[in-house]
Chains A and B, each alone.
Chain A
C-alpha cells in the first residue's frame, strides 16, 4: 500500500492505495464519488473521464498512485458554487444531451476540456474531440448541440422544433 494525497474537487484527501488501484476505483470506492463510471476495460468508452491537473484523462487507465500530488476534478465538483448546474451541464439538460445518463459525467468532463482549449468549436471539432466518449442513447445529435450551445453558438437547426 502507498499513501497518496490529492486535491479532489478542492478537497485535500490522503488515503492508502494498492499498487494496482486505478484512479477510478479510488474515486468510486474510497471517496464514494460514484459519478465517475466504468463502461469498458479497454480505455475506449470515456465514461470515467476526469481532469487531472487540468487535463482530460480516463480514470480507468491511470493508477491512483500516479495521481499523488495532483489536482483531480470529477463530475461531482462541476456545478456552480450555489449548486446550480454549470453552463455545460445546463446546456445538456436544455438540449436533451443525455438519456440514461451513464456516459454523461464523462461527456461533461470531456466537453469542459474541449471548451477550455477551444471556446468556439465547430461541429466537426466537437465530434472529433468526442471520439473517446461513447454514448449509446443519444446518437450524439443533442450532445453536439448542447456543447455548441454551451459555447454560446447557434445550434444546428433541426426540423420540427
Chain B
C-alpha cells in the first residue's frame, strides 16, 4: 500500500495551483514602479575589433535615458569564473577577462556591445538600431582542433593561446594505461562528438535591477537557480556591492536545466544601470537573444579507447577530449569537462586503469557551461557507446559484457578518484530486462519488419555523481565556492513551520517534497509546513539547485535543522511534562514520556517556546528556530540501466523512438510522482540530444540554429510514454535521508541507449558497416550512413 503522506508518498504538488490558474510570479511578471527598459546591441559577427561605438544618434532618440558601452564599465569587475582547473603540468588554466559589455573586441555572435536604456521597450529597441558600432571583422575560430593549432587567430590576444587548459587525469596513470592498451587482447576505438545543445528552459532569462538611493540598496530580480550565488559573484566580484546592500530574488523560475546557474552580464548590467540612473531597469530576453546569450551545453569531441583481455575483462580506458569553452569562461565551465566528467569515466565498471585527457578550448562561440547532467552525459555517452561497439566487435551480448565488468562490491574506489558508496548494477539491469519486456523483443522486431521498418534495441548502464562535495575537497580541485546547503526551520508559535532553504525550485516541486520530510520527522500534517526560497533577504546563504543536489544536500540541511528543533522541543516538553529529557519521545505530533500516558501536543510545546511562562528560561532560550548548514562527505551515486527501442525508416533514415524504459536506483525516494516526472523529462531531453537537437555554427561563427525554426526541440509526438522504475534502492550511506538525486539521470542515461538502438537497427537491417552515427541522428545523417 503506497503511503499517502510523508516520505514516500506521491503528494500532489501545492505549487501547481498557482501555475494552473495563471497566478505564478515569474520574473517577467514583475514590474517595478518607474522602470525603464534595456535593449542590448549585440555583435552580428563572431570575432572583430571594436574600432568605435557611436552612440550619439541613439542617445538623442525619443525616450532614451542613456546608452552604455564597454567604456562605462572600466573599473568594474570582470564576470567571474567560479572554478579554476589546474592543468597536467601544474599550471592554472588560462582565465581571460569577461567584461559586462564588450571592450576592445567582440568574441561571439551575440556578444553585447552596447545597451540602450529607454522609457519604453519600443524606444529602447529603436534606439539600439541607431547605435553605430564600427567593427573590423577578424577571422573566427570555430573548430576546436583548428583553434588549438592556431597561433595567429586568438579569441583572447592577451593569453597568447586558444587552449584554456590541457588536463590529465589521473596523470600518474598515464604510462600504465598506455602500456595496458598496447598489450591488450582487443582494443575498441571510437571517435565521437557530443553535440552542442541549448538548454532552452521555456522561460527566457529576465533581469530587473532596482536601486533605493536613500538606503544605498540594490535589488535584482532574476531568473536564477541560485540567488545567493548570484549575489556573491555579482556583488563581490563585478560591482563591488556588499551582501547587506544587495538583495537577489529569483521568484518562480520557468525551468533552468543548468543554464540559469550562471552569473550573466545582463544581471550585472541591470543592477549597474539601475544605480547609475536611479531608475529600475528591466531586461527580458527574446528567444532569439537567448540562443546567442544563454550558456550552451556539451560540445565535446572525443576519442575513446577501451582495452579488453581475452576473457573480455576491461583492462584499461583512455580518452582524449576537446571541450569547447566558447568565447569566455562561464561560471562553472572549467569544471564540466574535468571534475564532472573525468571522475565518471569508470562508469559502472571495474576497469582498473583509466586516463582522461581534456583540452579545453576557446572559440568564437557562445560560452559553454553546465547543462542537465554536465559532464556526466558526456562521460556516459562515450563509455556506453564504446562498450556497445566492443560487444559488436567481439560478437558478445552487450548486456553480458556489461555484467561481466560491473562493479559488484561497495564501497568501491575507482581509479578516477571517487568512491561509490552503494549500488547494485545487476539489480537495475535485471529490472530493466523485466520492465522493457526484452524477452519479446524479436517478436516486436518482426512486427516492425512487416511494416517495412528496421527495429533496433539499445541498452546501457549509467552512473552519475550528484551533490558535488565535500567543500574542502572541491576547494582543492579548484572550486571557488563551498558546496554545502542551508536550511532554517522556523517553528511558529502555533506550531506551523516555515522552512527557509538555500535550494531553489524551478520545476522540481520543493514546495511539496520538502514539507513531506519535515512533516514526517515531526509527525505533523504536511500542510503545516511552508517552504520559503528564492530570496537572499529571507533565506540563509545557500548554494542553490543544480547537479541533482537539492534533496541530498538541501534536504539533509533541513533534516539537520529539524533534528535541532526536535532536540530543543524535547527539552521544552520535558519541562512541561516534568520528566527527564531522555524519556521524551516524539510520535505523531505529540511528545510523551516513555512508558507512561503523559503527553503534550506539538502545538503546546511550540506555544510555550514563544510564550515562555512555564518554561526553563535558565536552561534554554525562548523561541524555536534552528539553522543548519550541511556539507556532505561525498557525492551520491545514482545509477541505473536504460533501454530504447527505435524504428528506422530505411527509405528516409527517420528514427522513431517507439519504446523507452528506465530502471533507476535513486536510493530512497521522497515523492515517487515527482521522481518519475524528473525521469520522464530527463529522458525526453536525452532523446532530444540523440535525435533532434543541434546547436550549429558555420565556419565563420554564424549561429545557424538560432531559433526554434532550426533548433529542434522535442515535441509531444517525438517521444513515447516512458516506462520507469525506481524500486531498486541502495540508499546513500552518508546522508540522513539515504537519497541520491534524480534530476539529471534521464538526460545522462538516455542518449547512448538511443544511439545504440539506432546502430542495432541499421546493423540488423544489413547495414553492417555502420558502427557509429554522431548525435543528433537526424534523418539525413542516418540515411547518409546507410548509403555508406
Contacts and interface: CB of A to CB of B under 8 A. Distances in A.
A contacts B directly in the complex (CB < 8 Å)? yes
Interface of A: 18, 20, 28, 33-42, 44-45, 47, 74-76, 78-79, 85, 89, 92-94, 96, 98-105, 108, 123-124, 126-128, 130-131, 133-144, 156, 158-160
B435 interface: yes
B16 A93 contact: yes
B35 to A, nearest CB: 12
B20 A138 contact: no
Interface string B674-710: 1011001111110000000000000000000001110
B254 A101 contact: yes
Report the interface size class on chain B.
35 or more
Nearest to A36: B22
A128 B122 CA distance: 36
A35 B253 contact: no
A85 to B, nearest CB: 6
Interface in B720-738: 721-727
Contacts of B212: none
A102 B20 contact: no
Contact of A35 (B23, B435, B723): B23
B202 A42 contact: no
A96 B673 contact: yes
A76 B23 contact: yes
Given A33-B22, A96-B676, 6 more contacts: A92-B20, A133-B715, A137-B681, A141-B684, A144-B716, A159-B661
Nearest to A110: B716
Contact of B257 (A76, A85, A136): A136
Contact of B254 (A44, A102, A128): A102
Interface string B724-757: 1111000000000000000000100000000000
Contacts of A18: 122
B254 A37 contact: yes
Contact of A45 (B26, B202, B683): B202
A99 B721 contact: no
Contact of B203 (A37, A76, A131): A37
Contacts of B661: 159
Contact of B288 (A41, A105, A136, A158): A41
B676 A158 contact: yes
Interface in B7-23: 12-13, 15-23
10 contacts: A34-B22, A44-B709, A96-B674, A98-B16, A99-B677, A101-B20, A131-B716, A139-B714, A139-B719, A141-B722
B475 interface: no
A18 B200 CA distance: 30
Contacts of A47: 202
Given A76-B21, A93-B13, A133 B708 contact: no
A116 to B, nearest CB: 18
A138 B29 CA distance: 23
A99 B509 contact: yes
A108 B253 CA distance: 19
Nearest to A86: B20
Nearest to A93: B16
Nearest to A79: B21
A108 B535 CA distance: 29
9 smallest beta-carbon distances between A and B, as pairs: A35-B22, A101-B19, A102-B254, A139-B684, A100-B507, A99-B507, A75-B22, A139-B680, A130-B716
Contact of B17 (A78, A85, A99, A159): A85
B15 A126 contact: no
Interface string B470-513: 00000000000000000000000000000000000011110000
A57 to B, nearest CB: 17
A50 to B, nearest CB: 10
A105 B680 contact: no
A134 B677 contact: no
Main SS of chain A's interface residues?
Answer: loop
B676 A136 contact: no
Given A136-B201, A159-B435, A142 B22 contact: no
B428 to A, nearest CB: 13
Contacts of B716: 126-128, 130-131, 133, 135, 140, 143-144
B312 interface: no
Contacts of B18: 101
A135 to B, nearest CB: 7
B201 A100 contact: yes
B21 A136 contact: no
B680 A142 contact: yes
Interface string B652-685: 0000000001000000000011101100111111
A14 to B, nearest CB: 22
Nearest to B203: A102
Contact of A100 (B21, B202, B708): B202
Contact of A158 (B254, B709, B717, B724): B724
B23 A40 contact: no
A51 to B, nearest CB: 13
Interface in B561-591: none
Given A76-B21, A92-B20, A99 B255 contact: yes
Nearest to A142: B677
B204 A101 contact: no
B673 A85 contact: no
Contacts of A123: 721
A158 B721 CA distance: 8
B507 A101 contact: yes
A99 to B, nearest CB: 4
Contacts of A159: 435, 661, 723-725
Nearest to B709: A42
Contacts of B16: 92-93, 98, 101
A138 B713 CA distance: 13
A135 B680 CA distance: 12
Contact of B681 (A33, A99, A128, A144): A99
A41 B19 contact: no
A85 B21 contact: yes
Nearest to A83: B21
Given A75-B21, A108-B20, A131-B717, A41 B680 contact: no
Contact of A89 (B20, B674, B681, B724): B20
A98 B680 contact: no
B26 A99 contact: no
B12 A93 contact: yes
Interface in B613-647: none
A39 B287 contact: yes
Contacts of A158: 676, 721, 723-724
B24 interface: yes
Contacts of B719: 139-141
Contacts of A41: 286-288, 707
B166 interface: no
A134 B726 contact: no
Given A101-B254, A134-B708, A137-B681, A39 B507 contact: no
Interface string B754-778: 0000000000000000000000000
A100 B253 contact: yes
B705 to A, nearest CB: 12
B464 interface: no
B299 interface: no
Contacts of B122: 18, 20
Contacts of A85: 17, 20-21
A120 to B, nearest CB: 18
